[in-house]
Every structure is written in structure tokens, then in C-alpha cells.
Amino acid sequence: DTEVTQTPKHLVMGMTNKKSLKCEQHMGHRAMYWYKQKAKKPPELMFVYSYEKLSINESVPSRFSPECPNSSLLNLHLHALQPEDSALYLCASSQGQGATAVDTQYFGPGTRLTVL
Amino acid sequence: QKEVEQNSGPLSVPEGAIASLNCTYSDRGSQSFFWYRQYSGKSPELIMSIYSNGDKEDGRFTAQLNKASQYVSLLIRDSQPSDSATYLCAPGGGKLIFGTGTRLQVFP
């Protein structure tokens, strides 16, 4: 089973709202990722958690705050977002072998975020 | 920083033909490559991974890797309209840096 789940599927929020995106996997993977994808562009990496510790932050604005409560869960807390943050937010997980060739990432279905 | 280049397309092929998708990369240290398929509005789905020079076949899909030329390709035989999607190439190694993707259109 290579399933990564994400909730909610769609989210509409105002610029003053606080919301959270949730990602879950039960494959025993130890690395989890957040990507942002704008229309007609490839996914862009935001954060990487490895063994529940933040290992990569791709200079993401502080209005995006990731959290990894345990090895199966990954959250993305959103606060004071801008309309240009509207995008598809993708979560992925992998075994967590880092730079080794076999570390394959599996993606969840994504959350479509609209910021008004 | 890994850089990956793909022709954005669209690549249009008739049903039943072979579709050839190409990807070049700049990091000579890249050891593995992944091809993902992404339907419009959906998330990327893994199609193939390849680690060694040469060809790797899986059903109608064949990935080809040439590390000396820093080139990786994906061939889709007997293309079907359901193959119409964007195909993303990415070198492996922790951080996936995707190419821009090639949009494939298979017409009946």
C-alpha cells in the first residue's frame, strides 16, 4: 500500500484566517515532504522532515509553519496568507534513506487552497 | 542545485504510436531518476524509476538512462488517450527538483 492521505481536499480561507493542512501515511516511511504547485508549473519543495525533525526549509515565508507530531503525521499551519499563496499543496513520503538512489517519494492527492 | 530540462510540449501522438519524452540534467552526481505522470488537477503518480545506465522496461513504459550524456528518456509504446497527461522528470537523492514537465496528448 503506497497511500498518502491529505485533508481537506479543498480549502478556502481569508487572509486573516488560521487553518491547517493535514497529511498522513501508514507505510512506515520516515521522511515526509510538503510541496507547493501553481498552475502549469512543477511541484516546488517547501519542507522536508526526516525522522520527525525538520531537515530542509526551502526559504519558505514564516506564514507557513510545518509540524510533524509523529512519524505518520505531517501538518502545515497557515496564517495570514496572501492571495498568491493559492495553489495545490502536496504532501509526499518516502522511506527516508535520504540521498540514496532508492528513496522513492509517493504523493498524496493534495489540498487545493484558495486565499481570498 | 540540480537543474532539469524538459520540452514543455505539447507532444501530440496518434493512438497506438510510440511517445518519446526526454529530460536532460545538469548534476553529474545524480544517481537515480524518477518519472511521474500528472493528470490535470491531480497529484504526481510514480511511473518509473531508473538507477543504472541502459534501459528499464515495465509494461508499455521503457526508461532509458545515459549518465555520460546526462540524458534520461521515457518511451510509451502503444500510446492510449488515457496516457494524455504531463510527465515530470526528477533526479533522486532526497530533494526532488522537477523538470517543467512535458504535456503529452494522445489523439484517437
CB contact A39 to B (< 8 Å): no
The 10s digit of each residue's pLDDT in A19-53 is: 999 999 999 999 999 999 999 999 999 999 999 99
Count of alpha carbons within 13 angstroms of residue A21, beta-carbon side: 30
Residues of chain B positioned with their CB less than 8 A from the CB of A102: 32, 51
* CA–CA distance, A93 with A107 (Å, rounded to integer): 7
The 10s digit of each residue's pLDDT in B34-93 is: 999 999 999 999 999 998 889 999 999 999 999 899 999 999 999 999 999 999 999 887
* CA–CA distance, B8 with A69 (Å, rounded to integer): 39
Q: Give the sign of the dihedral formed by CA A64, CA A92, CA A10, CA A114.
A: positive
Residue A107 has its nearest CB partner, among B44, B51, B93, at B44
- A vs B: CB pairs below 8 A: 55
Q: Could you give the 3-state DSSP secondary structure of residue B17?
A: coil
Beta bridge partners of B57: B62
β-strands B85-91, B33-38 pairing: antiparallel
Q: Which of B92, B102, B79 has its CA nearest to residue B48?
A: B92
The 10s digit of each residue's pLDDT in B13-28 is: 999 999 999 999 988 8
